[in-house]
Amino acid sequence: MAGAIFIAPATAFFGLFLLFPVVAVLGLAFAEWTGFNVHQIHWVGTRNFHQLYHDGVFRSSLLHTLIFVVGSTVILNVAGLGLAMLVNTRVQGHRFLQLAIVLPLGLSPVLTAILWQQILGPYGFINELLVDTLHWRTQPIGFLGDPNLVLWTVIAASVWQYAGYDMLLYYAGLQGLPKDRMEAAEIDGASALSRLRYVVIPYLRPVIAIVVVLNLIGGWKVFDLVFVLTGGGPNHATEVLSTYLYQQAFTFNLMGYASSIAVVIVVLATISALFRGRLAGDARVS
């Protein structure tokens, strides 16, 4: 009884703000509702998911999200591990470098998006430099307007903000790397690339699994950065699942249809989380 009393507040909070919304979304995914009157909720079965299958914008937003997830995850892990190894070598100024890399984590995604708009917009710093100052171009580069560039611009902004997070996790993992293993590899004549492949990466395999899964889950639910930076445009070129969900729910008041998109996001994020065991493998560090 005493234990039940102590966990009651946390259980109530979890049930009200986490469990109930999840159950409600699952129910609304099979219904039609405008979001105003609960008495107007109508059961439609699997019609929302059938409509998703034939929705061209949804398919493109799913593709854009997949590109964002894969691209950002790969670049974040490569950059995070590389920066962690650089800082771990104690190069001159490594403290300042570490602070500079982690600093963007203190910014909200909204502020990051506004900052990148000022840097890469048609009249931003980069285009002003290339066109007006250096005269290397006659027209601004469409970082935020060219459909072939804009999605990669969003990925670059995300990597810039979160590379420090991956670096911290990898840096923490490198602190436990046995020095005798690295010294033995050096004595045996192993190159830096060989030491990375056969010593560092196997040792960091559990850390890599956690970092990759966190990046995957964060990528599937990306919203604020895309919403502020591009709004899903131009012409849906950066439309991702979460921005399309927002549009359907709060622009067209299609709560049931938006809930079905939310279910897709949850399923994809859950599948990504299941990869952790396979990524970590059965590696053991003695």
Q: What per-residue confidence (pLDDT) applies to 104?
A: 92
Give the Cα separation of 115 and 109 in Å (integer): 10
Question: What is the token pair recorded at 48?
Answer: 């929302």
Task: Say how far residue 36 (Cα) sits from the centre of its chain.
Answer: 32
Digit-by-digit pLDDT tens for the chain (286 residues) are 888 999 999 999 999 998 999 899 999 999 999 988 888 899 999 999 999 999 999 999 999 999 999 999 999 999 999 999 888 887 777 788 888 888 999 999 999 999 999 999 888 899 999 988 888 888 889 999 999 999 999 999 999 999 999 999 999 998 888 888 777 887 877 887 888 888 888 889 889 999 999 999 999 999 999 999 999 989 999 999 999 999 999 999 999 999 999 999 999 998 988 876 666 554 444 3
Give the Cα separation of 249 and 267 in Å (integer): 19
> Could you state, in order of their start, the residue ranges of all structural domains in the chain?
56-280
Give the Cα separation of 177 and 204 in Å (integer): 8
Q: What per-residue confidence (pLDDT) applies to 92?
A: 76
Contact by Cβ (8 Å): 144, 229: yes
Q: Select from 226, 241, 230, 221 the least CA-distant residue to 59.
A: 241
Chosen CATH of 56-280 out of 2.60.120.330, 3.40.109.10, 3.40.50.1980, 1.10.3720.10:
1.10.3720.10
Q: Computed from CA positions of residues 23, 24, 25, 29, in that sequence, does the dihedral angle turn out positive or negative?
A: positive
> Does pTM surpass 0.95?
no
CA dist list (Å): 49 to 6, 28, 46, 245, 270? 41, 12, 5, 13, 18
Q: What per-residue confidence (pLDDT) applies to 100?
A: 87
Count the Cβ atoms, other than its own, within 10 Å of residue 22.
12
Question: What is the token pair recorded at 282?
Answer: 């059965």
Partners of 43 in beta bridges: 31
Question: What does the angle CA 33 – CA 34 – CA 35 come to, to the nearest 5 degrees?
Answer: 95
Question: What is the token pair recorded at 20?
Answer: 């109930």
